[in-house]
Structure 1
Amino acid sequence: MTITATRAHVALPARALLACGAVSGPLYFLTSLTQAAVRDGFDLTKHPASMLSNGDAGWIQVTNFLVTGVLMIAGAIGLSRTLEPGRGSTWGPRLLGVFGVSLLFAAVFKADPGNGFPAGSGPATISTAGILHMAAGSIGFLSLIVATFVFASRFSREGHRGWAVYSRATGVAFFAAFATMSSGNANAVVMLAFWAAVMLAWGWVTAVILRTTR
């Protein structure tokens, strides 16, 4: 009886933390895409989600970064408590935790306005806050990319080839989109591909967390 009660006491907090991580991605994109559809001047083919932090309604995206960052960190903690011993149980969750922390930094240091958003703004300018925002985003995205390969290695060792392939494919696709975006050639195709890659990567996080929960 004592052992059963102890296991339940440990499992319930872990499942709650995992649930937080699982909803972080859907919440982020539901909030971002809703804003993208209604905010004047915002264009998915020109602007990344981080630019929604600007303007009179920018507080919505700032809050979105803060809330989803905390949820992602909680999910990473839940993964670290749930996974069996192995490389993926240490570095995998830690890297996802770094991604969560980068979202908090993205909330504090906003992306620079420009390229027509908010409506009426001119060409993009570079500020200290904007540089710090890009640095935090780069660290967070690279951590997420590395996490896909860490988990892929774990899945391979455990014999889950489908999950290993899924993880590596996600990492490769996200890295390609991020590298192209960072090169400065952000035309409409590149921007839409980047949006899709971020959704793919965060969808992978949700899938891994749900798999762990089951």
Structure 2
Amino acid sequence: MRPTTTLLGCGIAAGVLVPVLLLIDGATRPGYSLWHNGASQLGTGERGWLQTANFVIGGLLLLAFAAGIRRVLPPGRAAVRAPFLLVAGGLAMVVAGIVPTDPALGYPPGRPEVVTTAGRVHGLAGLVLFAALAALPLVPARGPHAGSRGWMIYSRWSGALVIAFAVAAGVAFRLDVQGVVRPAPAGLLEHAALLVGFAWITVAAARLRRRNAVSEV
């Protein structure tokens, strides 16, 4: 298999691996609620090592995908912005995997809810990741290399939904912490933002990989 095709395939792998493993682990983790708890909390408590590995491997796959995109996109803004956003998101995922978040919203069970420096670093990495996931679909939605109208619409909606779900998750988390709404759907909204963002990455990688394969024939 040619190197560029392999690098583009890493985007498909990341787009499938990260959200699927998050959902499966969250649905089967004792004491964890997909409705209530954030995705990052799976990196703590029982089986926390699994999501640590998921974030780190997923981040490295995004870095490889960035290299693949840089090879196939024609010269222009998209060829610079898309790899930059993927590198930012990939590095943020690696940091989020290595530096765990703080206990919150009753998970892990029995652990006091505190705010630490590590938790703040993790939160900043998460912010960078969601910003990258929101901005990335908007890059190919402009310019002469945007593709079909359907792809442009899908990309714009993907970026908008990532922003909407991520912001709503943050609001739900604050309402829950303050006791206004309990249990608030912070976890569900955050997982939805990740699912939309990584679904777009999967589709984009598949499109580019297919286009590259045709050009190499």
TM-score of the alignment, normalized to the shorter chain, above 0.5: yes
Partner of 1:3: none
Offset of residue 148 of structure 1: 1.5
Matched with 1:75 is 65
1:83-102 matches, within 5 Å, as: 83-102=73-92
Are 2:174 and 1:174 equivalent residues in the alignment?
no
Query: What is the CA distance between 1:158 and its match in structure 2?
Result: 4.3
Unmatched segments (≥5 aa) in structure 2: 177-182, 211-217
**Are residues 1:203 and 2:199 paired?**
yes
* Cα distance change of structure 1 residues 131 and 148 upon mapping to structure 2, 3 Å threshold: same
> 2-side partners of 1:190 and 1:140: how far apart?
17
Q: Which runs of 5+ in 1 are unaligned?
A: 1-10
Q: Which amino acid aligns with 2:62?
A: M
> 1: CA distance between counterparts of 2:41 and 2:121?
14
Among the aligned pairs, what percent are the same residue? 34
2:17 is the alignment partner of 1:27: yes
Q: Decide whether aligned partners of structure 1 residues 56 and 42 sit closer, same or farther in structure 2, where only a CA change above 3 A counts.
A: closer
Distance 1:141 1:204 in 2: 13
Distance apart, 1:70 and its partner CA: 0.5
- After superposition, the CA RMSD in angstroms is 1.8
Aligned to 2:138: 149
Match of 1:15 in 2: 5
Larger displacement relative to structure 2 (169-178 or 80-89):
80-89
CA distance in 2, matches of 1:136, 1:117: 20
Task: Report how far residue 65 of structure 1 moved.
Answer: 0.8
Distance 1:106 1:23 in 2: 19
Aligned residue in 2 for 1:8: none
Q: Which residue number in structure 2 is paired with residue 4 of structure 1?
A: none
2:128 aligned partner? 139
TM norm structure 1: 0.87
Q: What TM-score does the superposition give when structure 2 sets the normalisation length?
A: 0.86
Instruction: Report deviation, 1:95.
Output: 0.5
Cα distance in 1 for residues equivalent to 2:100 and 2:129: 15
Matched positions, count:
202
Q: Which amino acid aligns with 1:68?
A: G
- 2:41 is the alignment partner of 1:51: yes
